[in-house]
Amino acid sequence: MNPKFNLQAWLETATDSECRAKAKEFAVRCSNIEAPLELLEMVVARGWIVLPEHGVKHLDYQKMKPSQRRYVLELAARIKSDKWWSKRLRTLAIRAAEARAYSYGIGMGKEQAYVSPWNLERMVIRAQQSAVAMAEAVAISPDGEVIDMADVLAGSMANGKNKRTELIVRMKGMAERAQEMGYRAYAITLTAPGCYHRCTSVGEKPHLKLILNKKWNGYSQQQTASYLTQCWAQCRTQFSKAEIDFMGLRTLEPHKDGTPHWHLIFFVKPQHASEALKIIRDKYLQAEPNEKNAQKVRVKIDAIKPRKGQDMVYAAVAYAIAYIAKNIDGYKVGGDTEAGMSAISGAQRATVWARILGRRQFQMFGTAPVTPYRESRRVRKDAETLLEQLIALDKEPAIAEAAKGLIDGNLQPCITEAMKAMRSGRADVLAPLTALRDLHLDGQIVCPTRILGSAWDAADKGDFRAYMVAMENDPLELVKREQINGYGEVVAVICGVKSQRGQVLTHKEGWKVQWGAKGKARLGKTCQAQKGPFKGASHIEYSPHEVAEMKRAQKQKQEAVFLGVAFAAEAKRKRRERAKPSTLGHVALTVSCTLDQALNDKGIRKEKAPPDLSERARINAQKYGAQAYIDAKNKI
């Protein structure tokens, strides 16, 4: 391989398929070198990786800290994997292409707001391929339980509806807690100095026009986002020294040209408000303080004042909902005024923009951690309710005593009563006690009210304010276990939640994902989005072939979304029918098989049965589109 290969220049025009091919080439070259330090020296010399990006400044093993030595060995193992290179190169390629587009001023204006058109299509195709893959995959437990990965995805935070709902619930709980503690609420907008912006606006609203900013110093979107984060870290340090308590929500948004800026909903005590706001203003105006209109534009602070008949909670949540929905799915948002387009299109572009940069759109601060909250909501009290009913209804004192012990997580009463029943020959009592023991040992009897306490109860009800209070008095912690990942590294993964009284496991070991278990993707291979050539101009011209490819990708995306959901629902219905066959179904199947055998024995040939309607629907859907699938389903 040519050592003069310029990776950065290659990444700016590389497609996803080219990145996968280059990843295999890199992995093969790295696999030929056994010594870790020699391998790293080779990839660093060729410019394939940059050590500071991985937290390592040099390769002098003797001068490294133990943590750095361990990381160097892990990194040497990772760079021999083509999967690691593929993920890394694809990420770097789309960021490099977006950085070049940003430098040319591409991705601004009403039709190309936030993100360049080819990277938007590229991310749309990736999402389409992921949707098809998830629709074809299943998760299998050690006990043989099968769950569609599409159902898992629909119930996770990857679903925009779930993400939006949880953020609103958490925001409401935080605002209620802030109101209880007498905090004041402020809406703050933070923007980087003008030299960080690629474009600037001229004219007056609503006829503003964007032009290239002559004062731009070459800062990328990543550098601008890092600048905002570093200033906020300095503010938090000052808050800590001044003993200022605060909480709130941070939203990362793009300007029309793709430059990041922040929106804060900031809660602080009245006696600390002026000092805290001064710290924020001073830190974010420290760079380029004499810039024109810096005081008005770069730091905007407005007190959130409720209207007549409202309280602070309502006003703060209403303010937050607009930014949350605008950057997730555009739900009930009139339109994206920043981009001048519909709310749904603006939300899609804002989400793609954040994913390309690898930045979190939303971040809450000063509140209880959210991961124990999510893990607690996985725990159900069905077994505890059944045990309480068993205590109330069962007339056998032995069974009642065993159930009381299991509610408290104590198996000993169940064992004691079982021994007594065995000695007295009470088989009618021994059988249910044995069943209770087996369920407890199998981990199916979980009593979260007694083990996890009020924090679990608040999380289960979705009351984030009560959860914050409970976490202050009786905190929950995560339970983690160590396992070996695909690179041979020991990593800690979350498996449950615990309190001072005990722990509850929320993740079973041994689950495996089988990709393509439902059959190969029926839509065929999708095209790769082609990027326009960079010719030093501030615009891109598409060839007729590229336009046709984009239209085809958009059509496939719509079909994939529908078919992915439809196939998952159809497979789930069939699996339910197979799991619970009716007696009448067994009789009909037996009669049919007997009749077929009798006809075959007599040499009588039956007319060939018509194809299954669901199979015919899938064929028609692939051939004619989603409407054929709907028509066929209505005929079943």
Known catalytic residues?
319, 323
Nearest to 457 by CA among 473, 475, 470, 445: 470
Give me the residue label for tokens 């003008």: 194
Backbone angles phi, psi at 300, to 5 degrees: -110, 125
CA–CA gap between residue 364 and residue 172 (Å, rounded): 12
The β-bridge relationship of strands 490-499 and 502-505 is: antiparallel
Nearest Cα residue to 360 out of 283, 232, 253, 263: 253
For residues 236 and 276, give the distance between their C-alpha atoms in angstroms, rounded to a whole number: 10
Alpha-carbon separation of residue 559 from 130, 344, 509, 523, 563 (angstroms):
13, 18, 35, 8, 6
3-state SS, residue 500: coil
What is the SS3 assignment for 459?
helix
Task: Give 142's contacts (C-beta < 8 A, 6+ positions apart).
Answer: 508, 509, 510, 511
Answer positive or negative: Cα dihedral of 331, 333, 337, 338.
Answer: negative
**How far is Cα 369 from Cα 173, in angstroms, rounded to an integer?**
13
- Cβ contacts of residue 150 below 8 Å, gap of 6+? 134, 135, 137, 564, 565, 568
Distance of CA 123 to the CA centre of its chain: 15
DSSP H helices in 242-381: 270-284, 294-297, 312-326, 343-357, 370-376
- Between CA 561 and CA 565 the distance in angstroms is 6
- Give the integer Cα–Cα distance in Å for 49 and 514: 32
Those residues with Cβ within 8 angstroms of residue 158's Cβ, 6 or more apart along the chain or in another chain: none
Task: Please confirm whether the linkage preceding 36 is cis (ω < 30° from 0).
Answer: no
Residue given tokens 């194809």 in the structure block: 611
Write phi, then psi, for 531 (nearest 5 degrees).
Answer: -90, 145
List Cβ neighbours of 589 (8 Å cut-off, separation of 6 or more): none
What span, in angstroms and rounded, lies between the C-alpha atoms of 216 and 633? 57
Question: Would strands 199-202 and 512-514 be described as parallel, antiparallel, or unpaired?
Answer: unpaired
- Interatomic CA distance for residues 149 and 73, integer angstroms: 34
> How far out from the chain centre does Cα 158 lie?
4
The DSSP 8-state label assigned to residue 481 in this structure reads E
